[in-house]
Amino acid sequence: MRMLGIETTCDETAAAVVELPPGGRARILSNEVYSQISEHAPFGGVVPEIAARAHVETIDGLVRRAMDTAGLGFSDLDGIAAAAGPGLIGGVMVGLMTGKALALATGKPFVAVNHLEAHALTARLTDDIEFPYLLLLVSGGHTQLIAVRGVGEYTRLGSTVDDAVGEAFDKVAKMLGLPYPGGPHVERRAVEGDPERFQLPRPMQGRPSPDFSLSGLKTAVRLAAEAVAPLNTVDVADLCASFQAAIVDVIVDRVRVAMRLFREQFGAPSALVVAGGVAANDAIRRGLARYASGAGLKLVTPPQALCTDNGAMIAWTGIERLRLGLTDGLDFAPRPRWPLDRQAAPRHHGKA
């Protein structure tokens, strides 16, 4: 089975082809990504109108490149998948319309993919793990702990009540004068800093429900920065290190609580999976690796290129759904909001 996947929900335009041979492991035949960081950097964040225009300008060429790199023609595909949300509606429309047009022109089945489901299933593409497993989804717009029980079967155990983890990284970077995107810059500066210099809070730590709250931590960083202003390079590095250490402690504590709930409701998980753009952070990976080792859990962290937005995860989710006979009509509407667990109470999900 071979699937083309298209991703345009935020500020990456992406197209990829994934193959699943009979009885074999999935292979990524191509994975093309165009990042719009340079277009948005002058504004300190993603500008939806600029993002949508960039998607329009690049999507056709990226799809062509993905097909050429895979060495396939459209007749060789078994289906076409496109992210239909959640995300910035202008961008979502570009990828969704492109996928629909290709499906219509080629007569191939069409699969509308939930971007969050694609992150949730990436570990099955990279590590072929079995259901069920606990997913920590951490990105610029989402922070959720989800029980992944099967394709289309998700139970949200916890989420953020205010800022997403990636959002908090970006806002702290901005207040410290670091460039956009902030997360990688905070991580790099934290390596040089003293994580114990500033005593920052660990919000929600010890609470019985595995939710997150990061606005108070963000405020504490601002107050600490104001107390030692004007900031020098050492101050910035120490603030970054202290902030990141607090984030790691909070994440590990929240995962520990979610794992306890998971075991009570669903039994033993096959793994703890971390996905989303913030999953590329080495300090968070190390903190979770220590926890998983002590708890006797398998930790799955997809390669960094598959943590950030990409077409391979969309193509793989298309395969997962198509082999269960799940396809969508060409009238499928773009969705700026599309929760994985529709039974869960509403929560704030940050930017997207």
pLDDT (average), residues 297-326: 95
Looking at the chain, the whole-number percentage of residues with pLDDT higher than 90 is 86
The secondary element (H helix, E strand) that includes residue 232 is none
Q: Is 204 in contact with 314 (CB distance < 8 Å)?
A: no
Res 347: pLDDT:
53
Question: The tokens of 84 are what?
Answer: 């239909």
User: What domains can be seen in the chain, in order of their start residue?
Assistant: 2-125+309-322 (3.30.420.40), 130-297 (3.30.420.40)
Res 334: pLDDT:
97
* pLDDT over threshold 50, residue 352: no
Res 37: pLDDT:
80
For every residue of 16-79, DSSP letters joined together read EEEE--TTS--EEEEEEEEE-HHHHGGGTS--HHHHHHHHHHHHHHHHHHHHHHHT--GGG-SE
pLDDT (average), residues 253-257: 98
pTM, rounded to two decimals: 0.93
Please give the DSSP secondary-structure letter assigned to residue 309. S
**How long is the chain?**
352
pLDDT (average), residues 152-163: 96
Tell me phi and psi for residue 205, to 5 degrees.
-60, 130
pLDDT (average), residues 257-263: 98
* pLDDT over threshold 60, residue 4: yes
- Of residues 47 and 223, which shows the higher confidence score? 223
The secondary element (H helix, E strand) that includes residue 4 is strand 2-7
pLDDT band at 45 (very low <50, low <70, confident <90, very high): confident
CA distances from 76 to 4, 67, 106, 126 (A): 10, 10, 10, 23
Question: The tokens of 144 are what?
Answer: 């959720």
Q: How far apart are CA 69 and CA 67, in angstroms?
A: 6
* pLDDT over threshold 50, residue 351: no
Residue 303: asked if its preceding bond is cis (omega within 30°), the reply is no
Instruction: Answer positive or negative: Cα dihedral of 48, 53, 56, 57.
Output: negative
pLDDT (average), residues 264-281: 94
- The type of residue at 186 is V
What SS3 class is residue 133? strand
Res 58: pLDDT:
96
Question: The tokens of 111 are what?
Answer: 């699969």
Looking at the chain, the whole-number percentage of residues with pLDDT higher than 70 is 97
Q: Is 302 in contact with 278 (CB distance < 8 Å)?
A: no
- Residues 55-68: pLDDT tens digits? 999 999 999 999 99
Q: Is 288 in contact with 299 (CB distance < 8 Å)?
A: yes
pLDDT (average), residues 10-32: 95
pLDDT (average), residues 212-221: 96
Res 346: pLDDT:
57
Q: What integer best gives the mean pLDDT of the chain?
A: 94
pLDDT (average), residues 216-235: 97
CA distances from 74 to 63, 77, 129 (A): 11, 5, 30
The secondary element (H helix, E strand) that includes residue 294 is helix 282-295
- Of residues 98 and 44, which shows the higher confidence score? 98
* pLDDT over threshold 50, residue 350: no
- Residues 105-144: pLDDT tens digits? 999 999 999 999 999 999 999 999 999 999 999 987 889 9
